[in-house]
Amino acid sequence: MFRTLSVTALAGVIAFAQVAQACTGIQLVAKDGGVVAARTLEFGTDLKSNVLVIPAGTAMTGSLPDGGAGVRYTTKYGMAGANGADMTVIIDGINDQGLYVGLFYFPTSASYAEATPENASRALAPHEYGTWLLGNFATVEEVKANFDKVVMVPVVVPLLKQVAPVHVVVHDRNGHAVVIEPTDHKLKLFDNPLGVMTNSPTFDWHMTNLRNYINLTPNDVGQVEIGQVELGQVELGQVKLGEVKPGQVKLQQFGSGSGMHGLPGDFTPPSRFVRAVAFSQAAPASDTAAQAILQAFHILNDFDIPLGAVRETAEGVRIPEYTTWTAASDLKNLRWYFRTYDDQSIRSVDLKAALAASGGKIRVIPMASEQPVTNVSTNFK
């Protein structure tokens, strides 16, 4: 009864609205050494994402606020991943060296450098930064040494009719990760030992906030005794047997999951950050990177926003935000996987095969498709 406007009908209404604030990213490491970086992307309208395949040797130019040309470079590495707003940029993807980059919304926190004649030759739009990283660097160590060799300047995204406020997470095939944020009009870098990413506020704030949840554990509490007992006898999580004495009570959990009691369940960035840490750290290591990909999609199911559960207001209209697509990257085997709101089937792009078939040109692979439903009524065993 709440849904009064379709997603398609809303697209024209909210083209200018700031409506993507709920992306969540995690990292998993498999027993075979494979590293998986995975994330959700939430928006309130069709982002017009497709898969871009960009070969090594492609000439790229950064944008300036006045429409002029910024930093110019030629990609050293081939890459593939999702774009947005029909632009020749990758907002989530990998390169042929096993480097992953993901752009996440950073509302109320992002601040960009002013474009000047002095910095124009090394300037680019925020939404172009991830493509620059993938095109030029192979490892997180290289990124750390060069991340601020360019400047982000405020360039409007035509589809959004605004500058996209973003920050960036970078992973490599060795399991290293960093976060890069534009604050105080310059780029700042943080090591990301847990590989988790959400949105505002700043990354260091999220890491500090984790101290509020150090009690969380995947292990059940079990049975406890409370009441008139000697000091030091009550230890939560330990089962104590024997007769119940006067003034004592034995309490048993209702069911499994008591160790995670108090885990925040809402869709705000701080709550999602805590949940992402809890679930990714609790996940048993998969045997292979391919298995870790499936594990990552399962974990991110918990962050999937159904249409209508989160709504923002633009021009007096309530806008339902939803998970438009979810992606996972295998940095060992160089494969990028995705599923969309309209098709939950997992599809993959083998980067080496895609680059080999590209003919040295930028290629586009459509992401849009319809959900297949298989009739198994007579598939008797």
Q: How far, in Å, CA of 56 to CA of 352, rounded?
A: 12
Q: Are 280 and 195 in contact (CB under 8 A)?
A: yes
Give the DSSP letter of residue 258.
G
Sign of the torsion formed by the C-alpha atoms of 191, 196, 200 and 205: negative
DSSP state, residue 197: B
Instruction: List Cβ neighbours of 151 (8 Å cut-off, separation of 6 or more).
Output: 112, 113, 119, 122, 123, 124, 186, 187
Q: Residue 50 corresponds to which tokens in the numbers above?
A: 């497709």
pLDDT per residue as tens, the chain (381 positions): 333 333 333 333 333 344 456 899 999 999 999 999 999 999 888 889 999 999 999 999 999 999 999 999 999 999 999 999 999 999 999 999 999 999 999 999 999 999 999 999 999 999 999 999 999 999 999 999 999 999 999 999 998 899 999 999 999 999 999 999 999 999 999 999 999 999 999 999 999 999 999 999 999 888 888 775 444 444 444 545 455 566 688 888 888 998 999 999 999 999 999 999 999 999 999 999 999 999 999 999 999 999 888 888 777 888 888 999 999 999 999 999 999 999 999 999 999 999 999 999 999 999 999 999 999 999 999
Listed by start position, the domains of the chain span 7-205+287-358
The amino acid at 293: I
- Distance of CA 224 to CAs 227, 229, 232, Å? 10, 12, 13
For residue 301, what are the contacts with CB-CB under 8 A and spacing of at least 6? none
- The reported pLDDT for the residue numbered 317 is 84
Q: Decide: pTM greater than 0.85.
A: yes
Answer yes or no: are the C-beta atoms of 280 and 297 closer than 8 Å. no
Beta-carbon neighbour count of residue 178 at 10 Å? 21
Q: What is the pLDDT of residue 316?
A: 80
Identify each DSSP E strand in 133-240 by its residue range. 151-152, 156-157, 162-163, 166-171, 177-183, 186-191, 224-227
In total, the chain counts a number of residues equal to 381
- Are 109 and 201 within 8 A, CB to CB? yes
Residue 269 tokens read as 């960035």
Strands (E), 246-316: 248-251, 310-314
Asked if 354 and 80 touch (Cβ cutoff 8 Å), the reply is: yes
The pLDDT assigned to 44 comes to: 84
Q: Which two tokens stand for residue 238?
A: 């330990």
Tell me if 133 sits within 8 A of 172, measured CB to CB.
no
Residue 226: predicted pLDDT: 78
The CATH H-level superfamily of 7-205+287-358 is Penicillin V Acylase; Chain A (3.60.60.10)
